[in-house]
Chains A and B, each alone.
Chain A
Amino acid sequence: QQQVKQSPQSLIVQKGGISIINCAYENTAFDYFPWYQQFPGKGPALLIAIRPDVSEKKEGRFTISFNKSAKQFSLHIMDSQPGDSATYFCAASGGSNYKLTFGKGTLLTVNP
């Protein structure tokens, strides 16, 4: 059972455009929703995270939007740059559960 569904699988955006990646979850016990960025040959690195008590969190060009009733959250990358080209994973964990459940990832390509 895949508890976190991520889409799209791949995304191509022009430099300066907006990249949007979506995730949906099933487990209502989840209460922590991080996004990770992974470059080839590297491990995932935490990008930004949100708790369900807020609907949006912004850090620089990166914004998470969270819809608790729909059990969905999304990552928006404003003014996308070629250096943002990477694989992005959404994840979730819940309560005292230390396990992160990851989506399958989105390969983002930003063309110059």
Chain B
Amino acid sequence: GAGVSQTPSNKVTEKGKYVELRCDPISGHTALYWYRQSLGQGPEFLIYFQGTGAADDSGLPNDRFFAVRPEGSVSTLKIQRTERGDSAVYLCASSLFPGTGYGYTFGSGTRLTVV
């Protein structure tokens, strides 16, 4: 597609529930990133995929968070047993330049609200 597509744009869930957030990167972009943006803050790194594998998941806050990219294109961020502190905008980005900070294109994000 022309840009990075994220669905849903908004998600409200109850504390303790499981959620999945989807990211469709730009076609041909092998590098894919997830970032989390809390209110009034800059985005913070969660995980980096190069192709199908998670090259770096050091930013995932705990083992309730998991992400996959089984075919090297679409990625899903999964959050188990959601907590109110997980409320944030989850941003996905893709890039033609793996292994660098160049050329990120961000999606519009999924605003997750845990009530």
Contact of A100 among B4, B104, B105, B108 (CB under 8 A): B104
CA distance A105 to B95 in the complex (A): 22
Determine if B109 and A97 form an interchain contact, defined as CB atoms under 8 angstroms apart.
Answer: no
CA distance A91 to B93 in the complex (A): 15
B16 shortest CB reach to chain A, Å:
28
User: Interface 1/0s, chain B 102-115, versus A by CB < 8 A?
Assistant: 11111111000000
Chain A interface, DSSP helix/strand/loop, else mixed: strand
Determine if B44 and A32 form an interchain contact, defined as CB atoms under 8 angstroms apart.
Answer: no
Determine if A99 and B40 form an interchain contact, defined as CB atoms under 8 angstroms apart.
Answer: no
B110 shortest CB reach to chain A, Å:
10
Contacting residues of chain A (15-40) with chain B, CB-CB under 8 angstroms: 32, 34, 36
Determine if B33 and A43 form an interchain contact, defined as CB atoms under 8 angstroms apart.
Answer: no
Report B's interface with A, CB cutoff 8 A: 4, 31, 33, 35, 40-45, 48, 56, 59, 91, 93, 95, 98-109
The 3 closest A-B pairs by CB, nearest first: A93-B101, A102-B42, A43-B106
* A46 / chain B contacts, CB cutoff of 8 Å: 103-105
* A44 / chain B contacts, CB cutoff of 8 Å: 43, 91, 106
A46 shortest CB reach to chain B, Å:
7
* B35 / chain A contacts, CB cutoff of 8 Å: 100
Given A32-B100, A32-B101, A99-B101, does the pair A43, B109 have CB atoms closer than 8 Å? yes
B54 shortest CB reach to chain A, Å:
13
Determine if A105 and B101 form an interchain contact, defined as CB atoms under 8 angstroms apart.
Answer: no
Determine if A105 and B99 form an interchain contact, defined as CB atoms under 8 angstroms apart.
Answer: no
Determine if B43 and A98 form an interchain contact, defined as CB atoms under 8 angstroms apart.
Answer: no
User: Interface 1/0s, chain A 96-109, versus B by CB < 8 A?
Assistant: 11111111110000
CA distance A49 to B91 in the complex (A): 20
